Amino acid sequence: MEQSVLKEVRAASLFQPNDSVLVGVSGGLDSMALLHWLWTHQHLWNLKLVAVHVNHQLRGQEADLDQEWVEQICREWGIECISKKVDVAKYAKEHHLSKQVAARECRYQLFSQVAKENQATKLALAHHGDDQIETMVMRLVRGAGLAGLSGIPTKRKGDSYMIVRPFMSVGKREIETYCREHRISYREDSSNLRDDYTRNWIRHHISPLLFQLNPNLHQVIHETTSLIREEDELLEEMAQNYVKQVIESESMNKITMNLSLIKTLPLPLQRRVILLILSYLQIERSSWSKVHIDQILEIIQNEKGSKTLDMPDQVQVVKEYHQLYIMKVSSESQQDQSTLDYLHSISHLGEYHFSTPPIQMILYQGIDRKKEEEWESLFSRVWKTHFLEGSLQFPLVLRNRRSGDRIQPIGMEGHKKVKDIFIDEKVPVRKRQDWPILTDQAGIIWVPGLKRSNRGKVTETRQNIITIMIGTD
């Protein structure tokens, strides 16, 4: 086993010269074997070892004896030891967690604290090949993607250190043999003998059957998960490259994507792009499932108009023609804003400034190319139209749409619903309610950027005309 572990450590570059290494030590078989292996091999990299023990206070006197045992062995071996009692039951109750999850969070909080205090570069943990088998069985039963099926990694980033697992290529039996050969004593955790937890049940009832099929199963699983992890990392790298291409704009709470480009990607990469977007927005995905991602993929593929999805964690996904938006929204902004109507009176020619919506409007006689150029330099979008002087009935009104709005566009004998114009011109649903509509006393004369009415049509520039421009950012 010693050579097998050494080969794995060197192949994965788990340690570098002069590393400061924390070792998670419970006092059980696996962690005592790891501590001994590192102690006897530390000279190869000139490692500084610090054993870290967490007493979860869940097993009364038994847990206290574990703590004393670890501290005693570290004194005998000349290894610095930091041990601490943590009230996991209280932490679990305060944070509404299971005791298992609470214990893990408490351990890693202590690891991070000790790592900063000791400027540790590595945290070594004693997970091994049999743990990997149990993890794979649990994830297969519950369902997982490639990332989940890549299992427990041999090396991954922690807070300010790398987490390394030197024993992933060996199994429990080899560790037991190693402890016998080196006369390493260890503590037995009585909770490991019960079937209360899923992992324990798999260990006691499923793993023995699998080992009957293949006594070398832990090594096969180790190789398989390594292959899956390599392919998962490749797909993730590809997805990260594609994300850069499909994102059109991004802010702290919203990312806009090019829908046409997303559709060209294979489905697995579409799924990964969506997951990366959620990560960029720092969205906690604990309440998300495959069902939610599939709903997003479905509206991406659907050719029909616009669609809005309200997702977990106050996330909203909006599809509008050629764009897909993923945004974090407050409960207030999720409410329907259609009641926020506006109406502004324009009594004469001149320049007007409105805050709702934030736009400017100007009406003047004739054509002024200099004025048009000036406005085009001032605003990101300028709408312009011309009417014959005397064809408009003042005061004009600038407002947003109303139910039943109709206009008679140029070249059309009948009237057309403004709603249908929005649909035909593919105006995003979220923009329709605020879209300005200009009316006079006889009806709608202009839907800026889309349609103007048949009234007051200009046929020659020599005619007396009124120019109307609207500028907005």
On the 0-12 / 13-18 / 19+ scale of CB atoms within 10 A, 349 is middle
**Residue 338: predicted pLDDT:** 43
pLDDT tens readout for residues 191-210: 777 777 788 899 999 999 99
Put simply, whether the predicted model's pTM sits higher than 0.75 gets the answer no
Average the pLDDT over 279-305 and give the result: 83
Tokens found for residue 119: 């400027």
Span of 194-198, 423-427, 469-473 with lowest mean pLDDT: 194-198
- Taking the C-alpha atoms of residue 422 and residue 438, their distance in angstroms, rounded to an integer, is 15
- Taking the C-alpha atoms of residue 427 and residue 422, their distance in angstroms, rounded to an integer, is 5
Span of 1-15, 124-138, 286-300 with lowest mean pLDDT: 286-300
Neighbouring residues of 9: CB distance < 8 A, sequence distance ≥ 6? 15, 166
Average the pLDDT over 332-345 and give the result: 60
pLDDT class of 30 with cuts at 50, 70, 90: very high
pLDDT over 90 at 235, yes or no: yes
Chain position carrying tokens 């709603």: 419
Q: Which of 301, 366, 340, 135 is nearest to 229 (CA)?
A: 135
- The mean pLDDT of the chain is 89
pLDDT over 60 at 84, yes or no: yes
**Residue 145: predicted pLDDT:** 87
Tokens found for residue 279: 């990560």
Question: What are the DSSP E strand ranges found in 246-403?
Answer: 247-250, 254-258, 307-311, 315-320, 323-328, 343-346, 350-355, 358-365, 381-388, 396-399
pLDDT over 80 at 303, yes or no: no
- Taking the C-alpha atoms of residue 49 and residue 141, their distance in angstroms, rounded to an integer, is 38
- Taking the C-alpha atoms of residue 80 and residue 48, their distance in angstroms, rounded to an integer, is 9
pLDDT tens readout for residues 44-78: 999 999 999 999 988 889 899 999 999 999 999 99
Span of 34-43, 58-67, 202-211, 332-341 with lowest mean pLDDT: 332-341
**Residue 194: predicted pLDDT:** 77
DSSP 42: G
pLDDT class of 337 with cuts at 50, 70, 90: very low
Average the pLDDT over 16-31 and give the result: 94
